[in-house]
Each structure stands twice: as C-alpha cells, then as structure tokens.
C-alpha cells in the first residue's frame, strides 16, 4: 500500500500554484516543464481549486491527515487554495489591458467606425469553448497535396453562402513540430464565427520529418486555397486576414510580410497570398540573433530539428525565415500580443519586433503585453483566452470597417468624377 505522505503532496501542489503565479525558472531547458506545469494552473485556477478541495476532502475522510504532519498538510493546502483564488482574480482583472493596447494605437474612438458587434447568443466557459468546434465547424477540407494539408471551416450555420463575410486564417503553434489545429484558438474561432466571420483553421507539415520551409509553404498554399474556394463558404476572398500563436505567430508574421514571394510559393508563384491584417500571438520573430534568454538553445533546436542545416553555413536561410528581417513599409496592419511571464519565448522578443515594425510600416501596429500571462494564454476558455479573442475581433473588425469605408469613398469619388465628365460633354 502506498504511504499517503500528505506534507510532500501539499508542498508539490503549493509549488505548482506558485509556478502559476510566476514561472519558477526562465533560463535553459528547464523552462519547458516549468511552462507545461504552470500554464494550465494560471489559466484554469478554478478547476484546480475544485479538484484540490474535493481530493482533500476525500483523503481527510480516509484519515490521511491525522497527527501533526496532517495538520501541516492541511495548512499548506489552505494556502494553495488562496493562491489559486488569487490567480483567478488576477486573470479576470486583466481585461482593461487589452482595450488599452487597441486604444493607444487605433484611437480612443476606434470602435465608432466598426459595426456594433451583436450580443453573443451563448456565454462561453472552459467546457463550452471546448465543444465549440461541433457548433461552428462545417467540414474538414484538403487545401493542398500533402497529408497534413487539412483545414476546418468555422462558420455560423445561418451565414449566407453569398454573404462575402470577412475571413481569418488560423495557424496553430507547436514549435514547428506539432502543428495540430485542434484544439488551438477555440476561444478566438468561436468568437469570430459567432460574429459572422468565416475562419479557416489549418494543419501543416511539421518537423523533423519535414524541414523548413515546408511550414511556411503550406501556410501560403492555404492562403492560395482561400482565394480560390472561400466564396463557396460565404467568405470574401478580397478580405483575408491571418493569426496564429507561438510557431503559428512566427508563420503569421512571416506570411504577412512576404506576400506573393515566389521563394515560399513553389508551383503556385502566381497565387495571391497577401493578407489585409496580421495578428501574431507570442511568436518568434528572430531566427538569427543569439543574444538574450534562451537564444542559444533556440538556435540549436532549429539546427537540429526544424531547418536541419548548419546555421554558420546557411545563415541566409535563417535570415529569410525571420520576420524581423522582412519588415516593409507596405506591411498590413499588425496586432501583436505577448505574455509578460512567457517562459518559452521571452517577452523582449515581442517588444523588439513591434518597435522595429513601427519604425518601418506605414500601417498601424498595435501591441498588448498581457500582465502575468504565460505562453499559450489564449488556448483555454479562460478569462484571458476570451479577452484575447474579443480584442482580436475588435482589431480585425476595425481594419475591415476602415478598409470598407475607404473603398466606398474611393468608388464614390470615381462615380462623381465620371458624372462631372459627362456633364461637361457638349
């Protein structure tokens, strides 16, 4: 029979809760287990709290807390519960940060130019968000020749087939080695679909079986497929945007900054792969720089698993894959989000990319640094996950509204000029 060891178990639970408050390590490969343990705790504190209370009650009635050690364990459990309550309250209170980032860049009255979003028909929580794919996914499609080239089409069932709804391409993360589209970004996808967007959530070829640039080629291929087929699902091929987190954030930024680049479009160089806006979330933007926390380990990972070519002998390949090296004045509007406590991709990488892009791009570059957020903070149906989805929808809706109004104004000018010319004819 296994000995209960209540104190040891209580210490472990407290350490995990503390790791959710702030990562216990930020350097070296130990950051990986630190992330995987602290990430769900920081976003799903109520579930951990409920599970801990019920388990403690079960073990209490079994006599696991007898004696002085049992009393110490109970005291430690009580502290853990307090920490979990603190985590949830901190998470809930982060909403104003998202709005502040948008207002700083787009203006205090930016929502006045967008159509008012309808009230959600359903309130979403963690479990409801997890089931959202069943509500909104119409079908899985194949967008390219490879086995991994599959995508889910998210749309409301009542969306008109000829509605020309705005479109977003969702690119999953996973260190260029996982690339699973399910269940990533469900809070965002369900929020956009509910508001009348058509969303395309893709999978793509991953490493080490497939080497770079297969990943970005597949993203470009998905954009080409959208141009050709999205109208069949009620989407507007003339308004396509892109988003993704982590490795998907890198691919999002790179795709937005390399429109129609034949280097990444083998066999479909004539396809239009431009986007109207990009929203990279906690992404990697620099494959070259070696300075900073975790950079040497990251370059080593790329050489061994993703690119599988020497950095020293193939440096240009790494440069070409770096969004921060592909900045351009005509870049589309960007909205960059990054967690302040990200232990996988430290937040300075997001800050540096935003600063560099703002110096070059003539389009708006909004930025939100989410306080106390770990990597992948938008994964679950947590408060921060929903705040992220809402903020991205507001940004993309602003881009859509301003572009639509600009196009209408331009068309009106052309019509007025034509009428003036006609009036002047004898």
Q: How far is CA 147 from CA 140, 143, 217, in A?
A: 13, 10, 14
Query: Pick the catalytic residue: 42, 124, 207, 246?
Result: 246
Residues 6+ apart with CB under 8 A from 152: 133, 137, 139, 140, 141, 181, 182, 200, 201
Tokens found for residue 150: 């599959």
- Residue 196 domain boundaries: 97-410
Report if residue 425 sits inside a domain. no
How far apart CA 245 and CA 186 sit, in angstroms, is 12
pLDDT in tens, 208-239: 999 999 999 999 999 999 999 999 999 999 99
pLDDT for 89-114, tens place per residue? 999 999 999 999 999 999 998 988 77
Q: Which of 400, 384, 393 is nearest to 120 (CA)?
A: 393
Hey, what are 53's tokens?
């209370």
CATH number reported for the structural domain that contains residue 111 in this entry: 3.40.50.1820
**Would you give per-residue pLDDT tens digits along the chain (426 residues)?**
556 788 999 999 999 999 999 988 877 778 888 888 888 999 999 999 999 999 999 999 989 898 999 999 999 999 999 999 999 999 999 999 999 999 999 999 898 877 654 444 444 555 566 678 788 998 789 999 999 999 999 999 999 998 899 999 999 999 999 978 888 899 999 999 999 999 999 999 999 999 999 999 999 999 999 999 999 999 999 999 999 999 999 999 999 999 999 999 999 999 999 999 999 999 999 999 988 888 999 999 999 999 999 999 999 999 999 999 999 999 999 999 999 999 999 999 999 999 999 999 999 999 999 999 999 999 988 999 999 999 999 999 999 999 877 665 545 443 344 444 444 444
The residues near 362 (Cβ < 8 Å, ≥ 6 apart) are 329, 330, 331
Per annotation, catalytic residue among 286, 320, 342, 378? 342
Q: 180 and 270: one domain?
A: yes
**Is residue 175 domain-shared with residue 63, that is, in the same domain?**
no
Domain count, the chain: 2
375 is catalytic: yes
Task: Give the domain-ending residue among 72, 92, 112.
Answer: 92
Residue 296: which residues within 8 A CB-CB, separation 6 or more? 290
Residue with tokens 């790179």: 254
Is position 141 within any domain?
yes
The answer to whether residues 195 and 73 belong to one domain is no
Task: Identify whether residues 45 and 166 lie together within a single domain.
Answer: no
* Inside any domain, residue 416: no
**Residue 423 counted as domain residue:** no
Among residues 191, 210, 375, 386, the one annotated as catalytic is 375
- Compute φ and ψ for 327, nearest 5 degrees: -65, 150
Which of 45, 62, 92 lies at the terminal end of a domain, its last residue? 92
DSSP 262-281: GGG-TT-TTS----S-EEEE
> Within a domain: residue 40?
yes
Q: Are residues 85 and 121 in the same domain?
A: no
Asked if 20 and 67 sit in the same domain, the reply is yes
In the annotation, is 246 catalytic?
A: yes
| pLDDT one-digit tens code per residue, 383-421 | 999 999 999 999 999 999 998 776 655 454 433 444 444
Distance between CA atoms of 363 and 328, rounded to whole angstroms?
A: 10
In the DSSP assignment, the letter for residue 25 is -
Tokens of 419: 């009428």
For residue 247, being part of any structural domain is answered with yes
Residue 207 domain-assigned (yes or no): yes
Is 132 found in the same domain as 62?
Answer: no
Q: Are residues 33 and 81 in the same domain?
A: yes
Is 419 among the domain residues? no
Q: Are both 175 and 47 inside the same structural domain?
A: no
Where a domain ends, among 92, 116, 137?
A: 92
Same domain, 82 and 163: no
230, 236, 238, 241 alpha-carbon torsion, rounded to 10°: -80
Angle subtended at Cα 264 by Cα 260 and Cα 265, rounded to the nearest 5 degrees: 65
Helices (H) and strands (E) in the chain, counts: 14, 8
The predicted model scores a pTM of 0.91
Residues 192 and 315 in one domain: yes
Note whether 47 and 187 are same-domain residues: no
d(CA 84, CA 50): 10
């Amino acid at each position: 029979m296994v000995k209960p060891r209540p104190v040891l178990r209580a210490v472990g639970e407290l350490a995990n809760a503390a790791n959710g408050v702030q990562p216990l390590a930020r350097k070296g490969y130990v950051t990986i287990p630190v992330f995987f343990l602290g990430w769900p705790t920081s976003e799903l504190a109520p579930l951990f709290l409920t599970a801990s209370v019920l388990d403690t009650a079960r073990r209490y009635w079994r006599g696991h807390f007898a004696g002085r050690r049992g009393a110490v364990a109970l005291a430690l459990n009580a502290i853990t519960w307090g920490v979990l309550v603190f985590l949830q309250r901190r998470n809930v209170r982060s909403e104003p940060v998202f709005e502040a980032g948008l207002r700083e860049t787009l203006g205090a009255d930016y929502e006045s130019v967008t159509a008012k979003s309808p009230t959600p028909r359903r309130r979403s929580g963690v479990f409801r968000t997890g089931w959202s794919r069943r509500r909104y996914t119409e079908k899985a499609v194949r967008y390219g020749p490879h086995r991994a080239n599959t995508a889910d089409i998210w749309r409301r069932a009542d969306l008109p087939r000829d509605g020309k709804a705005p479109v977003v391409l969702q690119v999953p993360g996973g260190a260029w080695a996982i690339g699973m589209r399910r269940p990533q970004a469900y809070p965002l996808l369900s929020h956009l679909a509910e508001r009348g967007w058509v969303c395309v959530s893709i999978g793509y070829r991953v490493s080490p079986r497939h080497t770079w640039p297969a990943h970005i080629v597949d993203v470009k291929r998905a954009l080409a497929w959208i141009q050709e087929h999205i109208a069949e699902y009620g989407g507007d091929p003339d308004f396509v945007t892109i988003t993704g987190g982590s490795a998907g954030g890198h691919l999002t930024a790179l795709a937005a900054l390399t429109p129609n680049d034949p280097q990444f479009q083998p066999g479909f160089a004539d396809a239009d792969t431009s986007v109207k806006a990009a929203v990279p979330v906690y992404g990697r933007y620099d494959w070259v720089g070696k300075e900073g926390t975790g950079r040497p380990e990251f370059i080593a990972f790329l050489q061994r698993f993703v690119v599988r070519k020497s950095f020293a002998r193939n440096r240009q390949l790494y440069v070409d894959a770096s969004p921060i090296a592909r900045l351009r004045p005509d870049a589309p509007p960007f909205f960059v989000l990054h967690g302040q406590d990200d232990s996988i991709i430290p937040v300075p990488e997001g800050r540096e990319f935003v600063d560099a892009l703002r110096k070059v791009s003539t389009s708006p570059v909004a930025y939100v640094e989410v306080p106390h957020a770990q990597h992948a903070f938008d994964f679950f149906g947590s408060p921060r996950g929903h705040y992220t989805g809402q903020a991205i929808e507001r940004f993309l809706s602003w881009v859509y509204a301003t572009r639509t109004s600009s196009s209408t104004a331009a068309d009106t000018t052309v019509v007025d000029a034509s009428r003036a010319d006609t009036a002047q004819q004898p």
